[in-house]
Amino acid sequence: EDDDEDLAKSLATMTFDPLDRDRFVDDIGETADIDSSEVTVFVDPLDGTREFVEGRLENCQVLVGIAIDGEAVAGAIGIPFPDGSLETDTTIIYGLADIGTSVVG
């Protein structure tokens, strides 16, 4: 039970940096003229809940993908506990179609 409280406190204090545009070679622009009905967002907690509950934190991951008019345009993989410890920084791998990928953490 103490471990659960420690984990909850740790998660509550996590902050995430905004997308670092300098990591990409091309300018990704500020706005886009996209009809929101054409946007699909996928959120998949890969190996998440069960592994988290069992304490196998290094196996917890979340995938977020964005498609516009059925074509994948962006995605991110969040690895909150890359080495299975609450003491390490989260790793986020993200990418934009036709622009590239980057890693934070």
Contacts of 82 (CB under 8 A, 6+ apart): 58, 88, 89, 90, 91, 105
Q: Judge whether 33 is annotated as a binding position.
A: no
Q: Judge whether 47 is annotated as a binding position.
A: yes
Q: Judge whether 46 is annotated as a binding position.
A: yes
Give the 3-state secondary structure of residue 53: helix
φ and ψ at 41, to 5 degrees?
-115, 125
- 15 DSSP 8-state letter: -
- Binding-site residue ranges: 44, 46-47
- Binding-site residue ranges for Mg(2+): 44, 46-47
